[in-house]
Amino acid sequence: MKSLEKFLAVFEAEMKAYVREAGPLVFMASFPFFFSLLTYGVGSVLSEGQASPRDWFFQLIGFSVMTISITMASATAWYFRRGMITGRLEYTMAAPVNPIIIALASSLAHVAVALMSFIVVGFVGVLSVYGAAHLLNLTAALLLVFIALLPVVGINLVVGTLTIVMKEPEPISSTVSAVAAATSGFVYPITMLPTLLQLVGKTLPYFYVVETARSLIDGYFEATQLTNIFLMLAYLALGLAVYRLGENYYARKVGVHW
């Protein structure tokens, strides 16, 4: 019970910090519209008006999940970097709270914020392409996207640990974002890629987040997709293990000062 209270306290503090930053959050939610409309414009010109609104919706959802992935990786890397600069990370690790609880609570706050932007994008997109009848599908999609994002939290815990080791957040989060963006089928079908890149995409959780979102909104979902999402949860376990390893090594032996 005490662990739950601690978890909620950290979660609440992180959420408050995000709410204070309403401007960037609005920015985050509007970005997928901006980019997808731009590429749709190019597509319309290139295909001489043959680009369909469904193509736009495909990219809208893709850019939305991509924005979520990029900002989550970036936020985690900077969370650790700022913690190192200010000394907060050492206090966090020395506090009588399991560091895993702190890491999980702040990561889940990122997921919750990401979902808020997904709701805005999904709502407008579904309404304009599919109509109000599909809004119920969006609700189902939200639930599964939440679960599908948990493995991404695992990857971000690895990003955080690597930030501590390398002491530079941007190169690490940008690299993860680039690999995820190119191979996960965010804005083009993964089948367009060479086999090797398709394989990379299918071993990472991002592909399943965007695939789940699209298929549920479209009104179909197969049992294998659910199996894949649960298999991907191994990334969360891996992330927690790597984080624990990094925390043990850096908090107890080396120290995480800047």
Q: How far is the CB of 7 from other proteins (least distance, A)?
A: 22
Q: Can you state the percent helix, strand and coil of the chain, rounding each to 5?
A: 85, 0, 15
Letters for 29-58 (x = contact with other proteins by CB under 8 A, - = none) are --x--xx--xxxxxxxxxx---x---x---
Q: How far is the CB of 20 from other proteins (least distance, A)?
A: 7
Please give the single-letter amino acid code of residue 22. Answer: A
Among 12, 87, 127, 167, binds other proteins (CB under 8 A): 167
Q: Per CB under 8 A, does 112 bind other proteins?
A: no
Helix or strand (DSSP H, E) at 118: helix 99-129
Q: How far is the CB of 3 from other proteins (least distance, A)?
A: 27
Cβ atoms within 10 Å, residue 91: 10
Is 217 within 8 Å of 61 (Cβ atoms)?
yes
Q: Per CB under 8 A, does 195 bind other proteins?
A: no
Distance CA 85, CA 210 (A): 35
- Residue with Cβ nearer other proteins (183 or 212): 183
- In Å, what is the CA distance from 192 to each residue of 137, 183, 188, 236? 27, 10, 7, 29
Q: Per CB under 8 A, does 92 bind other proteins?
A: no
Both tokens of residue 231?
């298999």
**Residues near other proteins, by CB under 8 A:** 17-18, 20-21, 23-25, 27-28, 31, 34-35, 38-47, 51, 55, 59, 67, 70-71, 74-75, 77-78, 81-82, 85-86, 166-172, 174-175, 177-179, 181-183, 187-189, 192-193, 197, 258
